[in-house]
Chain A
């Protein structure tokens, strides 16, 4: 979301930090660096920290630009950062994605301290997944480190990373959704109440969450007097603090098991031949249409996303199940895949626009449209489990992308029988003909293929 001023658009997710802001002009994404940040920017570039972090895949690269600044009076420089294919948010990440984002933040802070700088914020929203790696995207997050100063972003780190990770690991994986409610991270007093008592015998969680929450409550209304003595956080003590956070984060684990789709492919009525046929069709159609961005909605662990991504498209593999997204992310990491991004999404209640004026975090829809969408084995969940009429399904998919690869799963399929087993069949229109009729309103159907050894059909459609 953005705010138009003169000939550029200032992005409204970037208004808090007086060091500078992001804006777009003529399709270019630019970042104005303000005078107030000139010294810090100079040290970032001259100390070798920038180069080191970019080389380590921890910071997004940028080039200095000749473009005029957006707000002239405050301006020092304009830089053009590398573009991120799709912005995602921590409430859409699996456990390991959030954990890797936390560890990247700490690794950056360690390297910064060695070169005389420190992170002035530790927001999870400043981390994005670029070519499979968690990277800092805010070039202006660094400040000149003054020995003795405490880490100004300590509280933010605990709220954005440590608290949700601890809750996901020790209480319930679904508590990552608290990040959707609390835009500045999970309040520590809430995390402290929700965590099981055993976490109080874990030194890291005891100090950084439970005691920290207590101290926040006790001293929230106390004004801090100007510095009067040499007491502070020495460089060595700061290193100790970062290391302690790192160890605490590293020890938090979550193993996906027993959720909805974790073992889906082992527990359905697909034959190997049907499965292979579907893979071939997805691959052939994505290669034929050459989309730049593909959204696989209901991507499970990413089997079909990978077929689509073989076309070279950047493929976002969305799924509702944290276990499937986690396994998908393991695969991205282990095979160093660069053009697949697994994300958590409930299609029946997708990520909304959040924050100040509803414009700090974009909704799921506002981040589109994609060039192609895959909706494989999804329609029965939307039409039957979620009672969304087929015509509304067609309208939704038409809003998401130009090309649609969609699978129709008939009532005779065991998966649909299972959905109807415990409820009345109030879906007389849910037939192959009814499906084609509804989708023809919004799409031109280019291809229909019967999936081998199954009663399912795969369609390639183009938005009208």
Chain B
């Protein structure tokens, strides 16, 4: 059986860079990122839906709260 990452491997290009990102590292990153991206999308839809009912979600820029 063909491994799912083999399919990705056949269609993707490597970015030009001075670091070698590593074939395996790119492929695994694609899989993880796809999975986690779904989570982020779901969360963003959920906060939109909550918004319709006037429920505010936590500040979007949470990572900037430590700005000084």
Residues of chain B within 8 A (CB-CB) of A16 are 18
Closest to A230 in B: B11
Closest to B16 in A: A152
CB distance from A144 to the nearest CB of B (A): 11
Residues of chain A within 8 A (CB-CB) of B48 are none
Q: Say yes or no: A240 contacts B22, CB within 8 Å.
A: no
Q: Say yes or no: A120 contacts B18, CB within 8 Å.
A: yes
| Chain B contact residues, majority secondary structure | helix
Q: Say yes or no: B40 contacts A236, CB within 8 Å.
A: yes
Q: Say yes or no: B66 contacts A216, CB within 8 Å.
A: no
CA of A207 to CA of B29, assembled, Å:
9
B51 within 8 A of A: no
CA of A19 to CA of B17, assembled, Å:
11
CB distance from A355 to the nearest CB of B (A): 16
Most buried by B among A107, A151, A215: A215
CB distance from B26 to the nearest CB of A (A): 5
A225-B12, A227-B12, A236-B41 known; A216+B24 contact, CB < 8 A: yes
Interface size of A by CB at 8 A reads 55
Closest to B36 in A: A240
Q: Say yes or no: A150 contacts B21, CB within 8 Å.
A: yes
CA of A240 to CA of B37, assembled, Å:
5
Q: Say yes or no: A155 contacts B25, CB within 8 Å.
A: yes
Q: Tell me the B1-47 residues at the A interface (CB within 8 Å).
A: 3, 5, 8-15, 17-19, 21-30, 32-41, 44
Most buried by A among B9, B21, B44, B68: B21
Residues of chain A within 8 A (CB-CB) of B10 are 225, 228
CA of A212 to CA of B28, assembled, Å:
6
CA of A232 to CA of B8, assembled, Å:
9
Query: Can you give 15 contacting A-B residue pairs, CB < 8 Å?
Result: A18-B18, A19-B18, A107-B66, A151-B29, A155-B21, A156-B19, A218-B5, A219-B5, A229-B12, A231-B12, A233-B37, A239-B37, A241-B32, A243-B36, A243-B40
Which 5 A-B residue pairs are closest in the complex by CB-CB distance?
A240-B36, A227-B13, A237-B37, A155-B25, A216-B24
